[in-house]
């Protein structure tokens, strides 16, 4: 019989929540797990993941708390963070997917709100110079594996040719906002057709708004179909930009 490899709650968290109900709310492909802890109406989440990634998320969550509806950080340690639950359900909830137009409009309006956070106050940089430097390092270290990391539309590329495409097609200007970094259906909570919270902030940083728009519309396509991509952009308030969409989707694939 194969043993369950799910990591346990940190001892300090387990001790503080003795008697609380617990369930795995989310797993990622790298082995990270998020527990949902409940006691009556009280809800908390304990996320366990790579220590460096969690340290980044803790720092960004603290910064974002002054500007955006994000989960209250209750405690953290090496490789874990504990947050208070937010109202709403994520946009993959069946009842929201059953009303795709309303959900897409809510997500687009939510992203517009996120992008109003103050760029000048944000200490986290993911402008193209920083992003492409990360990609070059990952390619040099052999950490970009197209068969594993790329969606089908990019799998004809090797890591080297994908990097060459990014270098060739790098936009000459950037329309800078504070980006979420991974704005997709699971990372936005909705209630009454409004975004009530943003989660998974480990990639938050100053970047071109098309970093988020490209990933968000990709998520729209995957979750409710390509017919709703234009509605997202119209609600957000921009015209389609196929060149930037392709560039930032490929950049996302190579930095994730």
What pLDDT digit, counting tens, does each position of 107-150 carry?
999 999 999 999 999 999 999 999 999 999 999 999 999 999 99
Q: What is the pLDDT of residues 145-166, one digit of tens each?
A: 999 999 999 999 999 999 999 9
Confidence (pLDDT) at 2: 40
| Residues comprising the chain, all counted | 256
Under a CB-based contact definition with an 8 Å cutoff, are residues 182 and 203 in contact?
A: yes
Q: What angle do CA 175, 113, 219 make, to 5 degrees?
A: 80
Mean pLDDT rounded to a whole number for the chain: 95
* The pLDDT value given to residue 7: 79
For the chain, give every residue range classified as CATH 3.90.1200.10.
Answer: 89-255
What's the pLDDT at 241?
98
CATH placement of domain 11-84: 3.30.200.20
Nearest Cα residue to 198 out of 99, 79, 102, 63: 63
pLDDT at 3: 42
Longest dimension (CA), the chain: 57
The strands making up 73-77's β-sheet, listed across from edge to edge, are 21-27, 33-39, 42-48, 80-84, 73-77
R_g of the chain, CA atoms, integer Å: 19
The pLDDT value recorded for residue 90 is 96
Is the domain defined by 89-255 classed in CATH 3.90.1200.10?
yes
**Cβ 138 vs Cβ 144: under 8 Å:** yes
> In terms of Cα–Cα distance, which of 48, 249, 224 is closest to 149?
249
What is the mean pLDDT for each group of 10 consecutive residues in the chain (256 residues)?
66 95 87 93 95 96 98 96 96 98 98 98 98 97 95 95 98 98 97 97 97 98 97 98 98 93
* Residues annotated as part of the active site: 182
CATH 3.30.200.20 boundaries in the chain? 11-84
Query: 70 CB contacts (<8 Å, ≥6 apart)?
Result: 61, 64, 86, 197, 198, 199, 201
């Amino acid at each position: 019989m194969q043993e369950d490899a799910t990591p346990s709650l940190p001892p300090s968290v387990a001790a503080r929540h003795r008697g609380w109900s617990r369930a795995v709310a989310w797993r990622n492909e790298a082995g990270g797990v998020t527990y949902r802890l409940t006691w009556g109406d009280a809800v908390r989440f304990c996320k366990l993941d790579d220590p460096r990634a969690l340290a980044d998320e803790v720092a960004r969550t603290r910064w974002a708390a002054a500007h955006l509806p994000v989960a209250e950080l209750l405690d953290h340690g090496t490789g874990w963070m504990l947050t208070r639950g937010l109202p709403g359900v994520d946009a993959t909830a069946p009842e929201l997917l059953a009303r795709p137009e309303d959900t897409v409009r809510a997500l687009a309006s939510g992203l517009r709100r996120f992008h109003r956070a103050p760029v000048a106050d944000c200490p986290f940089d993911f402008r193209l110079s920083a992003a492409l430097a990360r990609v070059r390092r990952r390619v040099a270290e052999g950490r970009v594996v197209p068969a594993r990391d790329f969606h089908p539309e990019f799998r004809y590329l090797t890591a080297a040719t994908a990097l060459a495409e990014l270098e060739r097609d790098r936009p000459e200007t950037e329309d800078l906002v504070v980006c979420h970094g991974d704005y997709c259906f699971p990372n936005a909570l909705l209630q009454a057709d409004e975004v009530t919270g943003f989660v998974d902030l480990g990639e938050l940083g100053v970047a071109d708004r098309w970093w988020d728009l490209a990933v968000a519309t990709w998520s729209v396509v995957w979750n409710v179909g390509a017919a709703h991509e234009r509605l997202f952009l119209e609600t957000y308030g921009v015209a389609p930009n196929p060149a930037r969409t392709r560039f930032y989707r490929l950049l996302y694939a190579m930095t994730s």
